[in-house]
Chain A
Amino acid sequence: MSKATKVPALIVFSCLTVLLARGTSPRPEETPVVEITAKRFAFSPDKITLKKDQTVKLRLRSEDVTHGFFLRQLGLDEEIPAGQSVDVTVTPRAAGTFTTICDHFCGANHGNMNMTIVVE
């Protein structure tokens, strides 16, 4: 095999390897997705319920400025850039009712921007 044909062959092999590897791992769609919108000065919905030990994907979307999404008990400390979405996967390990806050200062009423996450 000439040097010129070696490189494309390597690329094809690499792509096949990646595709095969993806085929053996769980598809992203299998993880439940919970969508949360952040907009001054509230999250919507303002309360969600998750199941203990069940992995979910939180899709966080900002409709205006940059917001934060902070909940120490679930290890969440995300930045949601202005007008963008961020996905974060979480597996709650303890039941309880937790208050999540915006911890990126977003304006005068920032201190009241929070939502509740219930883990059952």
Chain B
Amino acid sequence: MKPPDRRSFLKIAGSSLGIGVLYTAFPASLKAGESSSFFSALGRANGEKPEPFSFVQLSDAHVGFNGPPDPLGTKAFECAVEMINRLPRRPDLILFTGDLVHDTENRDLQIQRIKQFQEISKGINVPVIKHVPGEHDAGLDGGLLYREFFGESYYSFDHRGVHFVALDNVSRAKPEVGTEQLAWLKKDLSRFPKTSPIVVFTHRPLFDLRPDWEWFTSDGDQVMNVLAEYDNVTVLYGHIHRDDEHQIGPVRHYAAKSLIFAFPDPAGVSGPRKAVPFEKEHPFKNLGIRTVSFNGQAQPSSAPLSIEDIELTAREFRGINGAQQLLRNSEL
């Protein structure tokens, strides 16, 4: 059997959620009867047999954030947890792409916010939750407190044949990865063949999405040069509080919406960024969920994907009554 190319191996089908993104990793173009030998070949190449699975990306909860444009605090995060737990198919993983909490120089208060984040996260009925820091988690102290509670800020792991890489582009205070982490990345990936499926998750975009809004990573081009050696790379990030999708060379970049408030489409704004105003009648506007599920059959005659977009406001918290209910319970 020929080594599978990137198109035929892994399709990361995703969707930005409002609460995050559910991705389903699956063999995209398999013909009936080929899957067994296909997986075996990849298993031999990558050291682990790839299997279909799903995961969820969450981002930018900013636990502790206080005031406009979102007076609801952690409500969207809590709703996201409920929504994940209601998913018909239980995800294997949660990837949280930074700004777990909002920063404060009061160390005790920062710890309190981290513990609140962890308490809410405990409610997610998913066995594995992985994190990377955002600048609000690690920018003020170089990531000391973050590492104390969440472990290393950059690392990698394997899951069902997919190699996941967590990159930290916030702990140096400036939007950069730095030479030490770049060297680590090269070394980490060097053991994988060119066709290996790789998912990179990080906080800031690795490319110049909107530099005057600090939507970039200054040495992101060097990261991209390393990743360009591989055929199956997907980058997931947060920071920009809106969903976005870019193809750069062979790499696809997906941003997730936040769990606190949204930023507008930068294409329509020439000056400084301003958050999308809070709408009392639509308290979770721009926060929602799009799930993408794979039926696992890999039959070309059937649609392998089913996609559903769910807006949080369309459920329990619809309209003005929903907003009042939320506001009444808010700690703010």
Residue ranges of A at the interface with B (Cβ–Cβ < 8 Å): 66, 68, 70-72, 77, 79, 98-101, 103-105, 107-108, 110-112, 114
Contacts and interface: CB of A to CB of B under 8 A. Distances in A.
A68 B174 CA distance: 8
B105 interface: yes
Contacts of B104: 108
A71 B272 CA distance: 13
B212 A105 contact: no
Report, nearest first, the 5 A-B pairs whose CB atoms are least far apart: A105-B139, A99-B212, A105-B135, A105-B173, A72-B211
A77 B218 contact: yes
A115 to B, nearest CB: 10
B80 interface: no
A114 to B, nearest CB: 5
Contacts, number: 46
Contacts of B140: 105, 107
Interface of B: 102-105, 135-136, 139-140, 170, 173-175, 208, 211-214, 218, 271-273
Contacts of A112: 272
Most interface-central of B173, B208, B271 (chain A CB within 10 A) = B173
Contact of B272 (A68, A72, A99): A99
Contacts of A66: 173
Contacts of B135: 105, 110
Nearest to A111: B214
24 contacts: A70-B211, A71-B212, A77-B218, A79-B174, A99-B271, A99-B272, A100-B212, A101-B211, A101-B212, A101-B213, A101-B214, A103-B175, A103-B214, A104-B173, A105-B140, A105-B170, A105-B173, A105-B174, A107-B103, A108-B102, A108-B103, A110-B135, A112-B272, A114-B272
A98 B208 CA distance: 15
Contacts of A98: 212
Contacts of A107: 103, 105, 140
Contacts of B212: 71-72, 98-101, 114
A100 B214 CA distance: 10
B174 A104 contact: yes
B41 to A, nearest CB: 44
A66 to B, nearest CB: 7
B170 to A, nearest CB: 7
Nearest to B136: A108
A71 B135 CA distance: 19
Nearest to A108: B103
Contacts of B213: 101, 111
A94 to B, nearest CB: 15
Contacts of A72: 208, 211-212
A76 to B, nearest CB: 11
A81 to B, nearest CB: 12
Contact of A111 (B105, B208, B218, B273): B273
Given A108-B103, A110-B135, A114-B272, A103 B174 contact: yes
Most interface-central of A71, A100, A101, A105 (chain B CB within 10 A) = A105
A61 to B, nearest CB: 19
Contacts of B136: 108
A110 B239 CA distance: 13
Nearest to B62: A108
Nearest to B218: A77
A71 B218 CA distance: 12
Contacts of B175: 103
